[in-house]
Amino acid sequence: MAFRPLTARAPAVLLREAKPLKAIFGHAQRLGHLQRLLESQLQPAAREHCHVASWREGTLLLIVTDGHWATRLRYQQKRLQRQLQAFDVFASLTRIQFKVQPPTVQQGAVGHTMDLSVNAAETIQATADGITDPKLRAALERLASHAKPKA
């Protein structure tokens, strides 16, 4: 008995026909639609900090990136609830819950970057050469090694 692999199918066909994938895809589309409706009622600055997590039994659960935005949105909760109830999808909305969940992917830290000139690096290295404390000397040498090489 020889093994015959299944023929490959296009991803779009799988999403339409495979029941588990179809259910997941439908739920994702529904959440995307709810997210767009929510964003239409939020202030532009709050949009990136607030995401729809679930909508069931009259309760809308929103995930907020930090406590600051959760507090701001709680102050606006009644207004937001009234505005969302105007949409057919949210007609039965009775309560909005906010949960704080920081993003799992840290965005690139906006750090203070400085370019160290070769002249500054030489000065730091000369200072390190005159230091007797081994830890301080090593720290200065590491700092001097960050110089931009001459082009």
The pLDDT tens digits for 105-139 are 665 555 666 677 888 888 888 988 988 889 989 98
pTM tops 0.85: no
Q: Alpha helices of the chain — where are they, by DSSP H?
A: 11-17, 19-41, 67-75, 77-85, 118-129, 134-144
Q: How far apart are CA 141 and CA 137, in angstroms?
A: 6
* Residues 29 and 64 occupy one common structural domain: yes
Q: Name the least confident of 81-90, 92-101, 124-133.
A: 124-133
Q: What is the domain range of residue 118?
A: 114-150
* Residues 96 and 120 occupy one common structural domain: no
The pLDDT tens digits for 10-25 are 777 777 777 888 888 8
Averaged pLDDT score across all residues of the chain: 87
* Residues 86 and 131 occupy one common structural domain: no
CATH number of the domain to which 23 belongs:
3.30.300.180
* Residues 40 and 64 occupy one common structural domain: yes
Q: Is the pLDDT of residue 66 over 60?
A: yes
Would residue 4 count as lying in a domain?
Answer: no
